[in-house]
Amino acid sequence: MLKLKGIKKSFEGKTVLDGIDLEVKRGEVVAIIGPSGTGKSTLLRCINLLEMPDEGTVTIGELEVTAPQIKRKEQYDLRGQTSMVFQQYNLFANKTALENITEPLTRVKHLKKEEARRQGREILKVVGLTEKEKEYPSRMSGGQQQRVGIGRALATHPKVMLLDEPTSSLDPELVGEVLDVVRTLASKHITMLITTHEMDFARSVADRVLFLADGRIQEEGTPKQIFDFPKTERLKIFLSHYHS
Ligand SMILES: Nc1ncnc2c1ncn2[C@@H]1O[C@H](COP(=O)(O)OP(=O)(O)OP(=O)(O)O)[C@@H](O)[C@H]1O
Ligand SMILES: [Mg+2]
């Protein structure tokens, strides 16, 4: 479903991604862990070309683009296959839960209002917020807001969802509801890449975990392999900073 080959990215002469190769299967959930500033967000942003890689190939489904000579249309098409969920929800404060979800349907997909609302209600069901349809973000909990954010990302039927620290603004007791939603999406075969600093979350959500450091994937494996049987010294030291 998603394939990266030789993705490189530097900022002001400083190499952040130094040749990332990755293949993710349809419906697979991949968690990306690693030290702060190591390029986890940059990697997600290079996949939807929010950030233009210096080099490398991104393939999503049938669509393959090679940086840096990517045409605007290719960029647009590729971005249409993905959607991103942010740490800070990024909801419209003056729109209800339902309106936040239907917004990309009317604006990007040009659906009629009634059809958008019908699909929006389906999505509210998936993220478990049917009863919050008319609620505004300021009157919802962080977990509920993040579920609206995930719902909005889901509305355009992306092949790949990119979630950048989706739980790090949440109180610990609200992480579980986001986890449940991610699990529901995985069961619907949505491919997901999730960056996180929460090792418990990574362990419970992911089929596969990548440890990113010094511009490369240093180690990868199942949550059990990564968290219980880390191989590299680099990963062992990283994990020793967490209590999980
Ligand atoms: N637009 C930019 N311009 C210049 N430098 C940038 C830009 N975006 C990211 N960087 C740098 O690239 C490096 C990687 O940043 P990135 O945000 O990808 O790290 P991260 O792994 O997501 O960190 P965190 O865990 O703190 O979220 C950092 O050194 C950052 O300062
Ligand atoms: Mg980040």
* Cα(183) to centroid(ligand 1), Å: 28
- Tell me, yes or no, whether 153 and 165 share the same domain: no
Report the separation in Å between the CA atom of 214 and the middle of ligand 1, taken as the mean of its atom positions.
12
Same domain membership, residue 53 and residue 7? yes
CATH of the domain at 233: 3.40.50.300
**How do residues 159-173 score in pLDDT, each as one tens digit?**
999 999 999 888 888
Ligand at shortest distance from the CA of 33:
1
Contact assessment for residue 5 and residue 21, using Cβ atoms and an 8 Å cutoff: yes
Q: Are residues 131 and 223 in the same domain?
A: no
Question: How much is the pLDDT for 89?
Answer: 82
My answer on whether 106 and 128 are in the same domain is yes
Name the pLDDT band for 243 (thresholds 50, 70, 90).
Answer: low
173 shares a domain with 55: yes
pLDDT at residue 183 in the model: 87
Q: Are residues 94 and 151 in the same domain?
A: yes
Instruction: Select from 136, 157, 178 the last residue of a domain.
Output: 157
Closest of 188, 221, 227 to residue 207, by C-alpha: 221
CA 165 from chain centre, in angstroms, equals: 8
Query: What span, in angstroms and rounded, lies between the C-alpha atoms of 196 and 180?
Result: 16
For atom 31 of ligand 1, the residue with the nearest CA is 37
Domain that holds residue 6: 1-81+160-244
Reported as a single tens digit per residue, the pLDDT across 43-97 is 999 999 999 999 999 999 999 999 998 999 999 999 999 999 998 888 999 999 9
With beta carbons less than 8 A apart as the criterion, state whether 182 and 194 touch: yes
Q: Which ligand is nearest to the CA of 35?
A: 1
